[in-house]
Chains A and B, each alone.
Chain A
Amino acid sequence: MREDYRRSLETAARQMILVHRADTLARLILRTILSNLKVKHAGILIFDKKRDEYVLKVSRGRSGFKIPAGFVKVKKNNPLIRYFTDKRLPFPKNIILADSIHRLAARSGEPSKKNLKNFLKDLEINLSLYQAKACIPGFYRNELVGILFLGDKKDKSRFSQDELGFLAVLASDVVMALKNTWLIEDLNRQLAINKRLFIQIVSALASSIEAKDAYTSGHTERVVQHSLLIAYNLKHVLRTKSWEKFTENLKIAALLHDIGKIGIPENILNKISSLSDEERKIIENHPSIGATILGHVEELGDVLAGVKYHHERYDGTGYPYHLKGRQIPLIAAIVCLADAFDAMTMDRPYHKALSYKDAIKEIRKNRGKQFAPSVVDAFLRAYSSDAKG
């Protein structure tokens, strides 16, 4: 018998490492218990922070005996909980055994301990309501995280010392594992908050360019939208390993694509008359300035390429690096088209806005010249229905 438990515990422990979801884990442990102990039913009550009470999260057992998970809870003031949490109650906090309650009652026999007697009576009633023969607490530090409860054994025999030891180990393992999965869930939540914060800061940075360049109001946000729509229409041909990561980077690159304009004097940026060669060179350097600014942020990865090469042309006549064809990273090719499309459809100091229809024509004309063919195709899939209308 002793050997069997050790093996079961080892198997359970090994599985626990592999399971990252709290409910899957709890179910697994109940299965281990039922197959080893031959009880009619068992369940795990887990403290629900939001409700501030203990809710039955998983259960197993014979039809009728099994208490449906989610159907039942135990309030904090229920004697089943108070037995373990109320420090004034002079009972061992390691287990409740229904068959041993009368012994506890006998110990608290004097008249002055009438309250204790009443408490135990109430406890007994609740044990029978839940048809629990044994309750094993799971503590983490000093807080009661959960309770494992078991019904009658099928052969009605009492739990042996070996069995109780086995259960105690399992209960504390459940608690540790639950705490870990909750910790991971908390971390993920925190991560999501940080990500949002990051995007907000990037957006604030992006709007600092718009504040400087009178003609770009709303431009950044539209480039983001165009870029994402193009990417969406590229999804089926893209062989990128992580689609989510790619679009995330694309979004940030689109937001920051003109960040380098911070380094360009305003009188050149907002000049209405035509630019001198020297002034043009200064403006055409903004992708490189942007890359230098963002180069300090190691984690940006692909984003940097998107900013650095968003004015390169497929035929190699772009600026400032004169890359061509496949040398231009996809992320940059997408931002390039999105940027150009928005520039065409908005009034600028140097040209009047084109209609959507004419702008789409213009993009189509530049397939394989200014723009990468695959990106143009995706763009057309996204926008050509607009052009017809």
Chain B
Amino acid sequence: MKKKVLIVDDEKEIVEFLKHFLERFNVNAYTVTRGDEALDEYSRIKPDCVFLDIQLPGKDGLTILKELTKLDPQAQVIMITGKEDKEYQDKAKKYGAQDYITKPLDLSELKEKIEKYIIA
């Protein structure tokens, strides 16, 4: 069965790009652009992994992360952050995020994360 990923990001270009990028790894990508839609979509599709932006309309990334890991303690979440923010990254780890990627990112790093968390 194809692996499934949920992308939660309000920037349409990034969502489209990530979706196509994941599809090249034979991964099905589902997308939402609002924070408050993330949880329902997660329950509906039960993805193998979530890419979660930190700044979102409707609900911020950390809040969603907390709710997600409460809903599903096994949830695999990779945060997308805008800059190197140690305090934020520590918080994300504490709330159960597996990893994070920092914009701008080298695509070979993104590939490694996909292989590590989704395909493996």
Asked if A72 contacts B107 (CB within 8 A), the reply is yes
Q: Which chain A residues border B19 with CB–CB below 8 Å?
A: 64
Q: Is B70 an interface residue (CB 8 A)?
A: no
Report Cα–Cα, A72/B103, bound state, in Å. 7
Asked if A67 contacts B17 (CB within 8 A), the reply is yes
Bitwise, A50-92 to B at CB < 8 A (1) or not (0) is: 0001011000000111111011111100100000000000000
B21 to chain A, nearest CB (A): 8
Asked if A68 contacts B11 (CB within 8 A), the reply is yes
Asked if A78 contacts B11 (CB within 8 A), the reply is no
Asked if A68 contacts B106 (CB within 8 A), the reply is no
Q: Is A108 an interface residue (CB 8 A)?
A: no
Q: Which range holds the interface residue count of chain B?
A: 10 to 19
Report Cα–Cα, A183/B9, bound state, in Å. 37
Bitwise, A107-141 to B at CB < 8 A (1) or not (0) is: 00000000000000000011001100000000000
B28 to chain A, nearest CB (A): 15
Task: Select B20's contact among A55, A64, A73, A74, beta carbons within 8 Å.
Answer: A64
Chain A CB within 10 Å, residue with most, of B20, B105, B108: B108
Within 8 A of B (CB), among A16-45: none
Asked if B13 contacts A68 (CB within 8 A), the reply is yes
The answer to whether residues A64 and B108 also contact, given A70-B103, A71-B103 and a CB cut-off of 8 A, is no
Report Cα–Cα, A129/B13, bound state, in Å. 17
Asked if A68 contacts B107 (CB within 8 A), the reply is no
The answer to whether residues A64 and B16 also contact, given A126-B108, A129-B108, A129-B111 and a CB cut-off of 8 A, is yes
Q: Which chain B residues border A129 with CB–CB below 8 Å?
A: 107-108, 110-111
Bitwise, B1-38 to A at CB < 8 A (1) or not (0) is: 00000000001011011011000000000000000000
Report Cα–Cα, A63/B18, bound state, in Å. 11
Asked if A71 contacts B111 (CB within 8 A), the reply is no
Count, chain A residues at interface, CB 8 A: 20
Asked if B16 contacts A72 (CB within 8 A), the reply is no
Asked if A65 contacts B104 (CB within 8 A), the reply is no
Asked if B105 contacts A73 (CB within 8 A), the reply is yes
A152 to chain B, nearest CB (A): 13
Q: Which chain A residues border B110 with CB–CB below 8 Å?
A: 129
Residue of A nearest to B111 (CB): A129
Asked if A66 contacts B17 (CB within 8 A), the reply is yes
A298 to chain B, nearest CB (A): 47
Report Cα–Cα, A70/B17, bound state, in Å. 13
Asked if A70 contacts B104 (CB within 8 A), the reply is yes
Q: Which chain B residues border A67 with CB–CB below 8 Å?
A: 17
Report Cα–Cα, A66/B110, bound state, in Å. 16
Asked if A55 contacts B16 (CB within 8 A), the reply is no
Q: Which chain B residues border A126 with CB–CB below 8 Å?
A: 107-108
Which residues of B are in contact with A by a Cβ distance under 8 Å? 11, 13-14, 16-17, 19-20, 103-108, 110-111
3 shortest A-B CB distances, which residue pairs?
A73-B104, A64-B20, A68-B13
Q: A63-B16, A65-B20, A72-B107 are in contact. List 17 more A-B contacts (CB 8 A).
A: A55-B104, A56-B104, A64-B20, A66-B16, A67-B17, A70-B103, A70-B104, A71-B14, A71-B17, A71-B104, A72-B104, A72-B105, A78-B106, A126-B108, A129-B108, A129-B110, A130-B107
- Can you list 9 A-B pairs with a CB-CB distance of less than 8 A? A63-B16, A66-B13, A67-B17, A68-B13, A68-B14, A70-B104, A72-B105, A78-B108, A126-B107
